[in-house]
Amino acid sequence: MDNLTFTNTILLMEGLKVAPQSSYPIFILLLLIYVFTMGCNIGLIILISTDKNLHLPMHFLFCNLPLNDILGTTVMLPRLLQDILREVSERYMTYVECVVQAYFVHIFGAASHYVLMIMAFDRYVAICNPLRYTAIMTNKMVVKLSVSAWGLSVLIVSIMLGLTIRLSRCRSKIENPFCDNASLFKLSCESVVINNVFGIIYTVIIFTFSLGSVFITYGKIATVCITSKNKALNRKAIKTCGTHIAVYIVMFVSCASVVFLHRFPEYSESRKLASIMFHIVPPGLNPLVYGLQTKEIRQKFIKLWYRNKVNLK
């Protein structure tokens, strides 16, 4: 090449580093995980959308979670599965495809925080202001909260990737199992100080805002439970909020591990594995932890299972 900027748009993907003899077992394992995750999340959405008894604000807000999990798993796993069966030298992707993948990878990451934050707000209103719950959590409010969560994710990620695609490119290898913002701006030989500063500031803000809102929300809920003599209310609060906190912890730890390991180049392989797990573990666990631990949803699943069992007989 005569100049530092590649005129072609073909990138070589690093993919997942696996030994040749392990490629098929890992492929089958990841495929089963993908099918399980998609089945559970799609099943939850269908169940909530078709059963009128589940047409409640809490469940409608919850639908944002499986939708985001479907996005996060689909944007990464199918491509990763393809690359596992390819030779390392044949794992190509166009620059446009890489940008699109990175865009939805970060939408998934951002929405994971925002969706759980609006779900925490719903639980706060339900437990701390039960008499005003129906007046506050109207269908209009549910739509506003959902649009805010997705809209804010789209806005921030669009700005972040806009700062990256403006850069010229002098490299053509993605040093990551899949495309993300960091792997894209590392293709450039220009200064990426702005990209790094924006990424750090955004990460600090979303982590602080996410942790802070969840901590304050559940702190107030805990205060209500401590001061209340209503044992039925306390049991319900502990069960629903405990489930939500479990989902939040799984998401936060998975996300924080990736961000933390990014700061230590010597742990690059661990960081790559953690980034893959972020797209596998929360989407796979959320339907089990949140869906099946919610009494109404669990009862519907049991009824459907029993009905199918009777029909088979």
Contact 162, 169 (CB under 8 A): no
The stretch 134-163 carries a mean pLDDT of: 94
Contact 197, 203 (CB under 8 A): no
In the DSSP assignment, the letter for residue 137 is S
How many helices, marked H, and strands, marked E, lie in the chain? Answer: 13, 3
Of 102-111, 188-197, 226-235, 296-305, which one has max mean pLDDT?
Answer: 102-111
Note the pLDDT tens digit of each residue in 200-247: 888 888 888 888 888 888 888 888 877 777 777 677 677 767 777 878
In angstroms, rounded to a whole number, what is the distance separating the alpha carbons of residues 214 and 220?
10
Exposed / middle / buried, residue 133 (Cβ in 10 Å: 0-12, 13-18, 19+): middle
Cβ neighbours for 57, distance < 8 A, ≥ 6 positions apart: 122, 137, 138, 139, 141, 142
Q: Which of 28-32, 187-191, 193-197, 270-274 is predicted least confidently?
A: 270-274
pLDDT of 7 strictly over 80 = no
Q: What is the pTM of this model?
A: 0.87
At 119, list the tokens.
Answer: 């779900």
pLDDT at 305: 63
In angstroms, rounded to a whole number, what is the distance separating the alpha carbons of residues 112 and 64?
9
Pick the CATH number of 19-312 from 1.20.1070.10, 3.40.190.10, 3.30.465.10, 1.10.8.60: 1.20.1070.10
pLDDT at 150: 96
